[in-house]
Amino acid sequence: MNQDLTSPETEEKLKKATSWIPALREEIGRVIVGQHYLVDRLLVGLLANGHVLLEGVPGLAKTLSIRTLASATNAEFKRIQFTPDLLPADIIGTLIYSPKEESFHTRKGPIFANLILADEINRAPAKVQSALLEAMQERQVTLGDETYPLPEPFLVLATENPIDQEGTYPLPEAQVDRFMLKLKVGYPGKTDEREILDRMASTAPKLDVNAVTSLEAICNARQHVNEVYTDPKIRDYIVDLVLASREPAQFKLDIGQYIQFGASPRATISLTLAAKAWALMQGRAYVIPQDIKDIGMDVLRHRVIPSYEAEAEEMTSEDLVGAIFDAVPVP
């Protein structure tokens, strides 16, 4: 391994750049009970400049988590409730004509914020989903003849309903692929549930949050993600994992008939960046195979699409990704 890139000086520099993370976790923990998995993945998204798709039942503090994260980082937060009658202009903004001045004025939409909660994204038709996802991809919005850059950092947390509910529009695979991570958030355990009861069972629960870091510190740490060292063997391991989702027979995996589509090259990039961010959050200046395993399911679960045969045998994308991780040799 390159000694210069993992020298004590480099490690110390990277640790200093992420020194705000423990304080941020602690501040969020004053409001959010448990949900360490969700909070850590939101931080990965912030550091790796990737958006997050969330699947979970109502009432799991998804909105509260991102609002608390925004308050603790001095970021601007906007929540967009997706409905079947929503229009693209309701998200990105529009031009308003002023008869008095005989000119158009730009009215920016709620997309112009640092942290966006796109609630129930699959409640809206494809045209609206595309408007949001284009803004996510290009990091800019065009209104009339003018193009406006979106603020930095910019993170979209989109929540998704289960597909079998009425009135939903499934997100096409090509659009889902633009999300770096897809999280599945479950119910809290008994201890956490009791603490939620003690803390929140009030007509006016205390949700005061102090800003413990700044957007500048996050953007600075994001630059250091690029300095996290990834050994060539680790890079080969990432490529092998993605290739195994497309050509499982090469890795002696008999699951080819269960995979309709494998992961795209975007998955390779996302897995590398997410692993670098995860390593940085652990206080390391280099990626180890366990980082890939820790974050890999969140990067791949929405990119490995099960076939009809898999659905008939009740195999999920998680089962397929798990089989891939078991089969691909670890460096």
What is the residue-level pLDDT of the chain in tens, covering all 331 positions? Answer: 444 555 677 777 777 778 888 888 888 877 777 778 888 898 899 899 999 998 877 777 777 888 888 888 888 899 999 888 888 889 988 888 888 877 888 888 899 999 998 888 888 888 888 888 878 888 888 887 888 899 988 889 888 766 556 667 777 777 788 899 998 877 777 887 887 787 777 777 767 777 888 888 888 888 888 888 899 999 999 999 999 999 988 888 888 898 888 898 999 999 999 999 999 988 888 999 999 999 999 999 999 989 899 889 888 889 999 999 998 988 8
Q: How many CB atoms lie within 10 A of CB 283?
A: 13
CATH topology (fold) of 1-24+223-331: Helicase, Ruva Protein; domain 3 (1.10.8)
What's the fold here for domain 31-200? Rossmann fold (3.40.50)
How far is 112 from 175, CA to CA, in rounded Å? 20
Q: What pLDDT was estimated at residue 284?
A: 86
Identify whether 99 is preceded by a cis peptide bond (ω within 30 of 0). no
Of 55, 66, 56, residue with least CA distance to 31: 66
**What integer pLDDT is reported at residue 127 of this predicted model?**
83
- At 63 the three-state DSSP class reads helix
What is the secondary structure of 204-241 as a DSSP string?
Answer: S--------S-HHHHHHHHHHHTTSB--HHHHHHHHHH
Element (H, E) at 7: none
Q: Residue 105 in 3-state DSSP? A: strand
CB 111 within 8 A of CB 132: yes
Q: Are 111 and 93 in contact (CB under 8 A)?
A: yes
Distance, in Å, from the CA atom of 125 to the CA atom of 83, rounded to the nearest integer, reads 8
| Domain ranges, ordered by start, for the chain | 1-24+223-331, 31-200
